């Protein structure tokens, strides 16, 4: 499908190579709030290779979404700003770039899909009107070309009678269908990177599975890099090759997916895995939880941010903050006492 | 019939529902359908349309043209030639009332359209760039204008622009845009956090395109209602200002007629007074009812039984 398409964007030409599509270096994102300046993301570094699906997991407010938004420089500003660090998107640092240059990258080199499909489409325009807009901006297609390409994209994401859907308004489509339209829109310029921010959370469970299956298939077919943000470890297990676990704006563990599930190194990751209900469990037990509360970002503890909730915390943990170190091939962890 | 039924294949597959009759419906056509079910709204719309047709007739030069011609004697009662009688100068009150309809529509339309457009655009820009210097400047501007009492402001503008026929229009537009601006700004702050605006941004659509294509069309329901409110206020203000001698100078308006009637009512002559005030009353009340019905029809949260 995409290979046969003569109208590929410049962004979509090169899928091989070993340079990362995204490389984040020591990123700090600050928000000014009533309680003062808080760091939603505090000095994280990671990279995503071409064609690689990477998952970011963590609780609400741990900085997952902010990380994804900063890749496209979509942090609402004010109150937010990138205070430090670099974000290389396709080899180019986007932090110093202006709005106009960013616009050329957004939707073209990297696209983003959001959580809430019900409000993700403009209610006063038809599906077609919204899909063709992007193609006309990035590819300067004619109305007819854009229409044909959009219908083809709707077909690609398995929407039935795409030509009819093209002329319909968002309120005439179901949630799952709208999310498919969003995916079609995000992929219509054949980006190198897809940022998916909890794309299935707001959908019914059965529809969730279908939509995730769709995303997985398209990611593989197009050999596209992906950053999948979720708090659903099951989705990560099925979709991603590598997982980044975030806690309170910091990366606490980076691991291969198989390694993470087989042998979690950070106590927080172990806690997350333990709190997944197990269907085959014979004994009916109370589901394990991680004790305590996520600390307030405006009032963080001195040492390790997880120390207050950690079963293994010692005086050292409360005094010093552990850095991210490689404990085994493909597994990095920020803990003094990794499992 | 029996043979026909026998020829049917055994239906072990549920046939696809016939959707050929199904036509895609926008939120606008839905609103129109909703409006059509409201008898009050329809009645109000009919009355407003009649007024509008009268105004168009005057513009086209078909009716009410001899409003300034001096005929017969002053203060003749109602007759076949002069339906509503004549005024002190022997001018036909019917023609003057009709002409006044045109004046009212002229002021109403100009003020409603321009103040809504200005208020809508500034409100959308302020809301979209909220908490930036652009927003501060726009808020400061409407804060300042709102702080001045309306009639004082109009008197000042009318004085500053004396001899200009559009002094009154300028004054009204300069004050009426602010309420639209404030409401649109609030709505846009809400809209801009919605995901379709975020999504448009994430897909590389520019700020101005987002404002004009994605944000403002989603405030049209507010603009439409604000426009009708501005229209009614403009007509009322025009009459009041003309009555005070600050409004229409070259022409006739219901305000001129009411101003003339102040001397006549005490003398027991009601022609000017009744003609002007009943036309004004009917138009204003019909327009208000129309605006109400419009608001209900455009509000997607208000569901009426179909």
Chain A contact set for B195 (CB, 8 A): 114-116, 119-120
Most confident of A9-18, A287-296, B97-106: B97-106
What is the average pLDDT across A254-261? Answer: 90
Under 8 Å between Cβ of B173 and B111: yes
User: What is the pLDDT at residue B19?
Assistant: 53
Q: Is the pLDDT of residue B266 over 90?
A: no
Judged by CB atoms closer than 8 Å, whether chains meet at A111 and B202 is answered as: yes
User: What is the pLDDT at residue B7?
Assistant: 47
Residue range A53-75, pLDDT digits in tens = 999 998 888 888 899 989 988 88
User: What is the pLDDT at residue B17?
Assistant: 54
Judged by CB atoms closer than 8 Å, whether chains meet at A107 and B26 is answered as: no
Chain A contact set for B217 (CB, 8 A): 122, 124-125
Judged by CB atoms closer than 8 Å, whether chains meet at B24 and A168 is answered as: yes
Average pLDDT over chain A reads: 84
CA distance A339 to chain B (A): 39
Chain B contact set for A196 (CB, 8 A): none
Q: Which residue has the tokens 């956090």?
A: B193
How long, in residues, is chain B?
306
CA distance B26 to chain A (A): 6
pTM over 0.80: no
Lowest average pLDDT, out of A13-27, A304-318, B204-218, goes to: A13-27
Selected residue of B195, B212, B223, B301 to mutate for chain A interface (largest A Cβ count, 10 A): B195
DSSP characters over B68-117: S---S-TT--S-SSSTT-B-TT--BHHHHHHHHHHHHHHHHHHHHHHHHH
Residue range B171-195, pLDDT digits in tens = 889 889 999 999 999 999 998 888 8
User: What is the pLDDT at residue B198?
Assistant: 85
What is the average pLDDT across B43-60? Answer: 90
Q: Is the pLDDT of residue B11 over 60?
A: no
pLDDT category at B262 given cuts 50, 70, 90 is: confident
Token pair of B300 as six digits: 């997607």
Lowest average pLDDT, out of A134-143, A327-336, B26-35, B98-107, goes to: B26-35
Under 8 Å between Cβ of B64 and B100: no
Judged by CB atoms closer than 8 Å, whether chains meet at B27 and A123 is answered as: yes
What distance lies between CA A114 and its chain's CA centroid? 9
User: What is the pLDDT at residue B153?
Assistant: 85
Judged by CB atoms closer than 8 Å, whether chains meet at A137 and B201 is answered as: no
User: Which residues are CB-contacts of A306 (< 8 A; sequence separation ≥ 6)?
Assistant: A247, A248, A252, A266, A267, A268, A313
User: What is the pLDDT at residue B86?
Assistant: 75
Size of interface A-B (CB pairs under 8 A): 91
Under 8 Å between Cβ of A195 and A183: no
pLDDT category at A4 given cuts 50, 70, 90 is: very low
Q: Is the pLDDT of residue A10 over 50?
A: no
User: What is the pLDDT at residue B3?
Assistant: 46
d(CA A255, CA A328): 9
The better pLDDT of the pair B67, B277 is held by B277
User: What is the pLDDT at residue A242?
Assistant: 92
pLDDT category at A87 given cuts 50, 70, 90 is: very high
Judged by CB atoms closer than 8 Å, whether chains meet at A186 and B204 is answered as: no
Judged by CB atoms closer than 8 Å, whether chains meet at B199 and A185 is answered as: yes
**Strand residue runs (E) in chain A:** 22-33, 36-48, 53-57, 80-89, 92-93, 110-113, 193-197, 225-230, 242-247, 250-256, 325-328, 331-333
Q: Is the pLDDT of residue A118 over 80?
A: no
pLDDT category at A225 given cuts 50, 70, 90 is: very high
């Amino acid at each position: 499908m995409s290979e046969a398409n003569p109208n590929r964007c410049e962004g979509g030409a090169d899928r091989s190579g070993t340079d990362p599509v995204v490389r984040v270096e020591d990123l700090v994102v600050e928000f000014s709030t009533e309680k003062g300046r808080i760091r939603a993301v505090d000095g994280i570094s990671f990279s995503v290779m071409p064609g690689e699906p990477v998952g970011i997991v963590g609780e609400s407010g741990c900085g997952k979404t902010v990380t994804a938004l900063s890749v496209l420089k979509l942090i609402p500003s004010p109150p937010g700003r990138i205070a430090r660090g670099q974000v290389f998107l396709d080899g180019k640092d986007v932090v110093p770039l202006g709005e106009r240059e960013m616009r050329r990258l957004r939707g073209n080199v990297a696209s983003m899909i959001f959580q809430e499909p019900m409000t993700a489409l403009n209610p006063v325009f038809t599906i077609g009107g919204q899909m063709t807009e992007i193609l006309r901006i990035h590819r300067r297609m004619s109305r007819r070309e854009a229409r044909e390409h959009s219908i083809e994209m709707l077909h690609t994401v398995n929407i039935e009678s795409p030509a009819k859907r093209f002329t319909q308004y968002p309120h005439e489509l179901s949630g799952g269908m709208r999310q498919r339209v969003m995916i079609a829109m995000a992929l219509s310029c054949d980006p190198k990177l897809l940022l998916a921010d909890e794309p299935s959370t707001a959908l019914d469970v059965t529809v969730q599975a279908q939509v995730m299956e769709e995303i997985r298939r398209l990611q593989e077919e197009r050999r596209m890099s992906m950053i999948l943000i979720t708090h659903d470890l099951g989705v990560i297990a099925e979709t991603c090759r590598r997982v980044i676990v975030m806690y309170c704006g910091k990366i606490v563990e980076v691991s291969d997916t198989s390694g993470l599930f087989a042998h979690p190194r950070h106590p927080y990751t172990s806690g997350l895995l333990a709190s997944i209900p197990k269907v085959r469990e014979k004994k009916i037990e109370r589901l394990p939880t991680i004790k305590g509360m996520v600390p307030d970002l405006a009032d963080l503890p001195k040492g390790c941010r997880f120390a207050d909730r950690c079963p293994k915390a010692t005086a050292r943990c409360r005094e010093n903050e552990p850095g991210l170190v490689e404990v085994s091939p493909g597994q990095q962890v920020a803990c003094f006492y990794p499992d | 019939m029996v043979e026909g039924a026998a020829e049917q294949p055994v239906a072990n597959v549920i046939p696809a529902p016939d959707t050929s009759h199904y036509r895609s419906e926008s939120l606008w056509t839905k609103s129109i359908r909703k409006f059509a079910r409201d008898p009050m709204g329809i009645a109000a719309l009919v009355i407003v349309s009649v007024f509008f047709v009268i105004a168009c007739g005057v513009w086209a030069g078909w009716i009410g043209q001899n409003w300034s011609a001096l005929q017969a004697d002053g203060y003749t009662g109602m007759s076949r030639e002069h339906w509503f009688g004549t005024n002190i100068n022997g001018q036909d009150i019917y023609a003057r009332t009709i002409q006044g309809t045109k004046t009212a529509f002229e002021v109403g339309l100009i003020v409603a359209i321009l103040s809504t457009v200005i208020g809508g655009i500034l409100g959308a820009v302020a809301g979209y760039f909220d908490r930036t210097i652009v927003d501060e400047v726009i808020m400061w501007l409407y804060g300042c204008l709102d702080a001045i009492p309306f009639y004082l402001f109009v008197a000042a503008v009318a004085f500053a622009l004396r001899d200009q026929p559009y002094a009154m229009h300028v004054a009204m537009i300069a004050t009426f845009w602010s309420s639209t601006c404030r409401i649109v700004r609030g709505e846009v702050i809400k809209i801009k956090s919605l995901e379709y605006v975020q999504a448009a941004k994430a897909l590389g659509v520019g700020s101005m395109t987002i404002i004009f294509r994605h944000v403002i069309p989603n405030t049209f329901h507010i603009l439409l209602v604000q426009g009708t409110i501005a229209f009614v206020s403009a007509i009322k203000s025009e009459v009041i200002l003309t009555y005070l001698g600050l409004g229409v100078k070259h022409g006739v308006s219901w305000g001129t007629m009411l101003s003339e009637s102040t001397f006549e009512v005490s003398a027991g002559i009601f022609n000017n007074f009744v003609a002007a005030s009943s036309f004004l009353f009917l138009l204003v009340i019909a327009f208000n009812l129309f605006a109400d019905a419009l608001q209900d029809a455009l509000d997607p949260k208000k569901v009426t039984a179909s």
